[in-house]
Amino acid sequence: MVRAMRTLIRHQWRQGRSAFLAFGAILVIAACLLDTALTLLWSFDAQYDRRQEALAVADIDIVIPQSAASANLERQLSALDGVADVEAHPAVLADSDIPDFRGADFTIRTLVSDADTARRLNRYRHVTASQTGGDLYIPQYVAEFGQFKPGQDLVLRMDGHEERLRIAGTIEDMEFGNAGSGILAFTMPHDAFDAFLDRHRQDAVTEYAVRIDGDATLATVRKDLGTFLDAHGIPVAATLDRQTVRTVRTMVSRIVVLVLTVFALLVALVSLALCAFQIGNAVRRERVDMGILKAIGYTGRTVARTMLAPYLLASLAATLAGILLSLPLVHAVGSLVAMQSGLDYQAAIDLRAWAVTLAALAGLTMLCASTALHGVRRLKPIDAIRTRPAGRRRQARPLAALPGNARTAILLAQACASRPRNLLIAVMSACMTILLAFCATLAYNAALRPDNLYDTLSTETPQLAVATQPGAAREAAGRIASIEGVDDVLDYTTEYVTIDGNRIPAFVSDDFAAARNDIHYDGQHPTDERQIALGSALAAAHPIGSQVAVTHGDEVRSYTVVGFLQSVNDGGAVCELTDAGYVRLEPGFDAASHTLYVYCDGEETAQVAERIKDHADGLVGQVTDTNRMRLASQRMVGTVLVAVSVAILAIALFLVLLVLMMVVQTSIARDRHRLGILKAIGYTSRQLRAETAMVLLPAGCVGALLAAVLCAGGMLPAVQALFATMGVMRSHFELPWALPAAVAVLLAALQLACAFGFARPIRGMAAVDLIRQ
C-alpha cells in the first residue's frame, strides 16, 4: 500500500511539477519573511534582555548636579522602600552638537563618564578599540548611525567649547546608548576624563544607578525617588528607567516585526489561494484516474492523501528553503535594527521561529488543501469514469442574456467560467494592491512629500534657528522679519523644566498657531500663563483639565493641562508653555537669550543666514542652518524608505508574474481543445491571447479596486497605528485618493500585459493538432 501510494504521489508530482514549484516559490517568500519576523521578535528582545542583565543595567537612573550629590544622599536613597542598591557615578552632562553626524549637525545631551572606574551597575561592554588608543569611547549608536570609526576624531561642541577627541573605541551601553532616551553616554580613559571634568566643572553631575527589590514596582519606586528628591530640594537633571529605555530602543524592531508579519501573511494568503486553485484543477484533470483508483479499491481518503502529499511536501521543502534564506535576511534586517537601537545584535538561529514558521505554513497548506480536496472523498467512481476529464461546468447565463455586444458577452462568459481562478486572481490582486499601496504611501511621504515624514517624527523645525542676545529677542525678531527672503519669524525657545521628577524640554512661545508643524494631537496649545500642553508620555498621568506641578530651579508652579503633544525624539516627554507661563517659573526669561525660528521658503538658507548676521549684528548670536540638517535627515530616511519600497515592489511583481504565469499556463492547458476549435473557425492567435488575458481582468479589477477602496479608507489609520507604536499620535502622512486608485489601475494594466505575454504559447498551437487531441 505504501509503495503504491508512493508511486501515485510521484505521478502527481510529475503531472503538476510547475504548479508545485510556483506554489513553493511563493511559500519560500512567505516563510522567509515570517521566520525573519519571528526570529527578530524573539532573538532581538532576548538578546536585549540578556545584555541588560550581563551589564547589570540599573532599574532607575537619576542624574543630579554634582554639587547636590553626597555619600549621605546615596545612603538615604538606598534606605528608601523598594531600593536594593545604589551606586554613584561622577559624570559630565551637557547639551552637545556633534558635527558631521552622517553629514549633518546632531544635537543631543551627552553624559561623559570615567571608563576606568569599576562599576557594579550600568557597566559598559567594549565592542571595538583603536590600535592607537584615544580620548573617547563612543556608543555603538554613534558609531553605526553617525558613521564614526575608532581612530577618527569626533568633535563635541559643549557650552561654546569645541572638544576634538580621538575615538578610542566603541562601547555598548544599555541605558544611555541610544538617542531615543534623550541622552547619549560617552566614556573616557581615567586621565582624559579628569581633564575633561576640569574643563566642564559647571556641568559636573552624579549619576545614581538604582536597583530595585525583586518585589518592588518600578513606577512606584521611581515616583518615590522623585518625591524624595523634590522634598529635599535636590534638582534632577535627568531620570530614566530601564523599561522606558527598552521600549524606545526596541521600537524599530517591533515595527519591522509587525510589517514583516503582515507581509508574510499576505504572501501566504496568495500561495494558499494558488494551492486551492491548482488542487481544483488537478481534481478536474485527474477525475477519471481518481474514479479508476476508487473503482479498483482505493478509498477516497487514500486518493485525497496522494493528491495532498505533494503539496505538503512542497510546503515543507519551501518553508525550509525560506527559513534558510531568512538567515541572511535576519542578519541584514538585524543590522539595520541594531544600528537604530544601539544594541550589538548578533543574528542567531531561533529554533522556536523555525518551528512556528514550519507549523504555521504547513498547517495552513494542509487546511487549505484538505478543504479543496473535500469533494474527492464523495466522488462516485462510475460518475468520474463516465464524465469527460476536462468537463466544464455549464455557463450560468446564455450569451444572449449577457450585456454588451457579442465579443463582450463572450468575454464576460469566459471571465465568469472559473470561480477558483477568479478567487485566486482577486486575492492576489487585493494582496498586491495593499502591498503596493503601502509602498506608494511610504514613497510618496518620504520622497515626494518628505516634510510629511519629517514633521511626523520631529517637532517644529524652521529653516534657520537664531539665538538672540539676552533681552534682544523682540528687536531681533523685528529686524530679521524685514530682511529680504524672510517669510516669517517666530519666537520659539526650548527650555528645560521638571515634571514628575523628569527634566524635559519645554517649548516656549506665544504663538504656537504660527508654527508650521502642528504637533498637538488632542486638546489645544496653551494660550495663557496658567496653561500647559504635555507630551504623550505624560498624557496618561495628567489628563486634560487636570493640574500639573512644574519645577524649574527652586520654583514650583501649577498649570492646567489643555492639550497633548507628540515628540518621537524625546519619547513624548515634552511640554509647551506660553512666554508668560514660563516667566512664572523663570522671571528673567524676557531678559534672557531666546531662539527665533526663521522661515524663508524657497530661499538659499546660507545666504539668508549671512543677511541676518549682517542686518541684526549685535542682536543675534549663533545662526544654525536647521534646513541643512532637515534635508540631510530627510535624505537619509527617504533613501531607506525608498529602498524598502523598491524591495516590496520587487516581491510584489515577482508574485504577480508567478501567479499569472501559473494561471495562464493552466488555462491554456485546460482549454487546448477549445482554443483549437476557436482557431479552426477563424479566431486569430492574437484574439485568443487577448481573450485569455482579458478574462482575468474582471477578477483582478474587483480585487484591486476593493483593496484600493480599503487602502483609501484604511491605509492612513494603519500607518497611524504603526506610528503609534513609536509614540506618534498624529501622523502627517497624506494619501491622495488617486494613489491607491492609480496602484490598482497600474496593477490591472500590468496583469493584462503580463497575461497577454504569458499566453504567447497559443501562437505556436496548430488548430488541427488541438482538434485531433
Partner 1 sequence: MSTTTPTDTRQADAPIVSARGLTKAYDAGDHPQCVLRGLDVDIHRSDFTVIMGPSGSGKSTLLHALAGLDRPSGGTVTFDGKDITAMGDDDLAVFRRHACGFVFQQHQLLDGMSLMDNAIVAGALTMRSKRDIIAKARTLFTQVGLDERTWQRAATQVSGGEAQRASVVRALVNDPALVFADEPTGALNSHHAQAVLDVFTRLHHRGQGIVMVTHDRHSALRGSRILYLRDGAIVDECRPGTYTADGGQGRERALSDFLERMGW
Which region among 289-297, 587-595, 641-649, 760-768 touches partner 1 (by CB under 8 A)? 760-768
**Minimal distance, residue 419 CB to partner 1, in Å:** 13
- Verify binding: residue 383, partner 1, rule CB under 8 A: no
In the complex, what is the shortest distance from the CB of residue 441 to partner 1, in angstroms, rounded to a whole number? 43
Q: Does 386 bind partner 1 (CB under 8 A)?
A: no
Quick note: the x/- pattern for partner 1 over 164-203, rule CB under 8 A, is ----------------------------------------
**C-alpha–C-alpha distance, residues 173 and 126, integer Å:** 9
* Options 391, 713, 717, 736; binder of partner 1; rule CB under 8 A: 391
Q: Give the residue ranges of DSSP H helices in 342-445.
A: 351-372, 374-378, 381-386, 406-415, 419-443
Question: Is position 17 an interface residue for partner 1 (rule: CB under 8 A)?
Answer: no
Q: Tell me the three cell numbers of residue 132.
A: 592607537
**Which is closer to partner 1, CB of 366 or CB of 771?**
771
According to the binding rule CB under 8 A, does residue 583 interact with partner 1? no
Given candidates 75, 201, 407, 760, which one binds partner 1 under the rule CB under 8 A? 407
Indicate whether 766 belongs to the interface with partner 1 (CB under 8 A).
Answer: yes
Give the three-state DSSP class for 623: strand
Give the shortest CB-378-to-partner 1 separation in angstroms.
22
Sole window of 373-381, 682-690, 692-700, 742-750 interacting with partner 1 (rule: CB under 8 A): 682-690
Strand partners, 495: 506
Give the one residue of 686, 725, 738, 749 binding partner 1; rule: CB under 8 A. Answer: 686
Is 147 near partner 1 (CB under 8 A)? Answer: no
- Specify the pairing of strand 161-172 against strand 136-139: parallel
Minimum Å gap between C-beta 394 and partner 1 is 5
Task: Please give the Cα distance from 132 to 137 (Å, whole number).
Answer: 13
Q: How far is CA 608 from the centre of its chain?
A: 36
Q: Which is nearer to partner 1, 420 or 638 (CB)?
A: 420
CA 76 to chain centre: 43
Contact 372, 279 (CB under 8 A): yes
The amino acid sitting at 358 is: L
Residue 771 interacting with partner 1 (CB under 8 A): yes
CB of 384 to partner 1, least distance (A): 16
The Cα 369–Cα 386 span in angstroms is: 26
Is residue 405 involved in binding partner 1 (CB under 8 A)? yes
**CA 280/CA 712 separation, integer angstroms:** 34
Residue with cell 498624529: 730
Q: How far apart are CA 754 and CA 759, in angstroms?
A: 9
Please state, in angstroms and rounded to a whole number, the distance separating the CA atoms of residues 579 and 589.
8
Give yes or no for residue 630 binding partner 1 (CB under 8 A). no
Which residue lies nearer to partner 1 by CB, 521 or 683? 683
Output b/e per residue, 120-147; b: 16+ Cβ within 10 A. Answer: ebbbbeeebbbeeebbbbbbbbbbbbbe
Residues 86, 207: Cα–Cα separation, whole Å: 10
Taking CB under 8 A as the criterion, the residue among 296, 351, 400, 540 binding partner 1 is 400
- Give the torsion sign (CA, 474, 476, 477, 479): positive
Q: State residue 655 phi and psi, 5-degree precision.
A: -65, -45
Question: Does 682 engage in binding with partner 1 (CB under 8 A)?
Answer: yes
The answer to the question of residue 684 lying near partner 1 (CB under 8 A) is: yes
At 110, list the grid cell. Answer: 551627552
Place of cell 480599503: 710
Give the three cell numbers for residue 698. Answer: 474582471
Contact present, 619 and 479 (Cβ < 8 Å) = yes
- Does 773 engage in binding with partner 1 (CB under 8 A)? no
What is the rounded CA–CA span in Å between residue 694 and residue 692? 6
Q: Contact between 643 and partner 1 (CB under 8 A)?
A: no
Q: Smallest distance, Å, CB 700 to partner 1?
A: 22
Q: Which stretch binds partner 1 (CB under 8 A): 18-26, 335-343, 397-405, 535-543?
A: 397-405
Stretch near partner 1 under the rule CB under 8 A, chosen from 570-578, 599-607, 611-619, 673-681: 673-681
Q: Which three cell numbers stand for residue 729?
A: 499620535
Stretch that binds partner 1, among 58-66, 399-407, 540-548, 630-638 (CB under 8 A): 399-407
Using CA of residue 718, residue 719, residue 720, residue 722, what is the dihedral sign? Answer: positive
636 binds partner 1 (CB under 8 A): no
Looking at 195, 481, 556, 680, which residue binds partner 1 (CB under 8 A)?
Answer: 680
Contact by Cβ (8 Å): 555, 498? no
- Out of 410, 631, 694, 718, name the contact with partner 1 by CB under 8 A: 410
Per-residue cell: 749: 494594466
Q: Is 690 in the site for partner 1 (CB under 8 A)?
A: no
* Phi/psi of residue 565, nearest 5 degrees: -125, 160
* Under rule CB under 8 A, residue 232 binds partner 1: no
Q: How many CB atoms are located within 10 Å of the residue 387 CB? A: 14
Sheet of strand 620-624: strand arrangement? 488-491, 595-599, 464-468, 620-624
Judged by beta carbon, residue 365 or residue 422, the one nearer partner 1 is: 422
Residue spans of alpha helices (H) in 616-763:
626-670, 672-681, 685-694, 697-724, 738-758
Question: Minimal CA–CA distance to 146: which of 691, 504, 632, 567?
Answer: 632
Minimum distance, C-beta of residue 390 to partner 1, in the bound complex (Å): 9
> Among 44-52, 419-427, 635-643, 764-772, which window interacts with partner 1 (CB under 8 A)?
764-772
Which is nearer to partner 1, 156 or 678 (by Cβ)?
A: 678
| Nearer of residues 72 and 773 to partner 1, judged by Cβ | 773
* Binding track, positions 600-619, relative to partner 1; x by CB under 8 A: --------------------
Establish if 763 lies at the interface with partner 1 (CB under 8 A): yes
Using the contact rule CB under 8 A, the part of the chain among 111-119, 133-141, 146-154, 765-773 near partner 1 is 765-773
Between 530 and 674, name the residue whose CB sits nearer to partner 1.
674
**Smaller CB distance to partner 1: residue 37 or 688?**
688
Q: By the 8 A CB rule, do 530 and 559 touch?
A: yes
The yes or no reply on residue 470 touching partner 1 (CB under 8 A) is: no
- Beta strand 104-114 with 183-188 is parallel
685 binds partner 1 (CB under 8 A): yes
Distance between CA atoms of residues 473 and 619, nearest Å? 8
As measured in angstroms, the least distance from the Cβ of 661 to partner 1 is 23
Residue nearer to partner 1 on the CB measure, 391 or 543:
391
Q: How far is the CB of 751 from partner 1 (least distance, A)?
A: 24
Q: Which is nearer to partner 1, 578 or 666 (CB)?
A: 666
Residue 393's region, left for phi above 0, alpha for psi from -120 to 50, else beta, is: beta
Is the Cβ of residue 132 or residue 773 nearer to partner 1 in the bound state? 773
Q: Count of residues binding partner 1 (CB under 8 A)? A: 34
Identify which of residues 312 and 410 has a Cβ nearer to partner 1 in the complex.
410
* Residue number, 129 or 416, with CB nearest to partner 1: 416
Which residue, 677 or 706, is less far from partner 1 as judged by CB? 677
Comparison of 6 and 407: residue with beta carbon closer to partner 1: 407
**Phi then psi for 275, rounded to 5 degrees?**
-60, -50
Residue (220 or 395) nearer to partner 1, CB: 395
Cα dist from 617 to 312, 477, 598, 623, whole Å: 77, 12, 16, 11
**By the criterion CB under 8 A, which residues form the site for partner 1?**
388, 391-395, 398-400, 404-407, 409-410, 413, 417, 674, 677-687, 763, 766-768, 771
